[in-house]
Amino acid sequence: MQLRYSFRLYPSAGQRAALARAFGCARVVFNDALRVREEARAAGLPFVTSAELSRRLTAAKKTPERAWLGEVSAVILQQSLRDLDTAYRNFFDGLKGKRPRVGAPRFKSKRDNRQSVRFTANAAWRITPGRKLRLPKIGDVPVRWSRALPSTPTTVTVVKDSAGRYFASFVVETGPEEVLPETTPEVGIDLGLGHFAVLSDGRKIDSPRFLRRAEKRVKKAQRALSRKEKGSSNRNKARIKVARAHARVADARREFHHRLSTQLIRENQAVAVEDLAVKGLARTRLAKSVHDAGWSAFVTMLEYKAARYGRTFVKIGRFEPTSQVCSRCGVKDGPKPLHVRVWTCGACGAVLDRDINAAVNVAKAAGLAVTACGAQIRPGLVPAPRSEAGTHQELPTALPQREQIGIPGL
């Protein structure tokens, strides 16, 4: 399978200027090609092919208006045309129902939150013996290598985010040597807001609420930004402070998701989750808390790590009544308000924790071998044996102590 590894870059002032030129040239080539195709569509002409766009790019570099395109590597300009082809392909596949629908390609702006360029093997980029990243017409950029790459990458994408940070992104191939030894436990997971995750074995993982905890600092930075004059340097500095505050929240949330997903995949042979309607929940009054939890990113991590390490990942339908069914006897007694966290089954008398019961039902719906012992808070009322029902006769006082009721024999 393919995995993406990102590492922080620390370019110098000159290298940052060279990267800014590369971002700008790639953006202009993308916009020019998009404009050509849109004008052809408006005029009723045939779709302009990639080969024709490449020829026009070569001719444009020889004109005075676009001569500065020769200051950057030609590979990133060709890759910009490939990105446009990918955007059109995804758009048309969405219309045909082959993939989720996406919007039509749009023009890029220098004020976009994310700027990127991609270097392939033809660009002759490489990692130097001093562990720096050598990029054509940019130089040797220092890299913070947090871990080793499992294989040699063929392409590298240099990304600048809204906080002004630079990253090198590698896509590498991994083989079956990553498969973990088999283990016995299987777990169902119920995702929520009160607790981030409740497991079918009874464990509850608290929700860190990273955005809620950093909300005071973020609000202060946003108020400072709103007081700055538009177009001024101080406003740009304040914008970067806001972006960095949000970046710290996103990084902390991503780290939490990675640690928890890796732990669950290593400890369990099979993992089951529910397919939540995140887009629908994000339109309710709980939108901020839903986005703060980041369920979709966490489930995506579970899915690809299960495939990577040889585990089983199952996603059940969102319409399964996991909160309405007793996990001990299987009786469905209808929906319950959200404030009901503990309920008693009317059929078997088991007192159930709402979240743990739902996690057990998620695992059962996925076909996993789990028990319902974790869902019960305390045992329900047990009918008395026939021998103890009715009126008890008076016991003889001469019986040995071991024969008296309630005291086990030695």
- What the block records as the tokens of 377 is 């808070």
What's the rounded Cα separation, in Å, for the pair 312 and 407? 49
State phi, psi for 343 to the nearest 5 degrees.
-145, 160
Q: Is 370 helix (H, G, I), strand (E, B) or coil?
A: coil
Determine if residue 231 is left, alpha or beta; phi over 0 gives left, psi from -120 to 50 gives alpha, anything else beta.
left
Instruction: Tell me, yes or no, if 355 is annotated catalytic.
Output: yes
State CA 31 to chain mean position distance: 30
Residues of 378-397 as b/e, b for ≥16 C-beta within 10 angstroms?
eeeeeeeeeeeeeeeeeeee
Q: Choose, from 186, 274, 292, 353, the residue flagged as catalytic.
A: 274
Residue 262 neighbours by CB under 8 Å, 6+ apart = 305
State phi, psi for 89 to the nearest 5 degrees.
-65, -45
Q: Which of 372, 314, 380 is nearest to 343 (CA)?
A: 380
- The edge-to-edge listing of strands for the beta sheet with 132-135 is 115-119, 156-160, 166-173, 2-9, 139-144, 132-135, 126-127
Q: Do the Cβ atoms of 208 and 197 come closer than 8 Å?
A: no
State CA 258 to chain mean position distance: 9
Q: Are strands 139-144 and 351-353 parallel, antiparallel or unpaired?
A: unpaired
**Beta-bridge partner residues of 351:** 344, 378
Q: Choose, from 83, 186, 190, 201, the residue flagged as catalytic.
A: 190
What's the rounded Cα separation, in Å, for the pair 105 and 310? 37
- What the block records as the tokens of 382 is 């047990």
What's the rounded Cα separation, in Å, for the pair 338 and 362? 18
Q: Which of 33, 40, 39 is nearest to 58 (CA)?
A: 33
| Helix (H) or strand (E) run with residue 304 in it | helix 295-309
Instruction: Tell me, yes or no, if 190 is annotated catalytic.
Output: yes
Q: Do the Cβ atoms of 22 and 73 come closer than 8 Å?
A: yes
**Beta-bridge partner residues of 115:** 160
Catalytic positions: 190, 274, 355
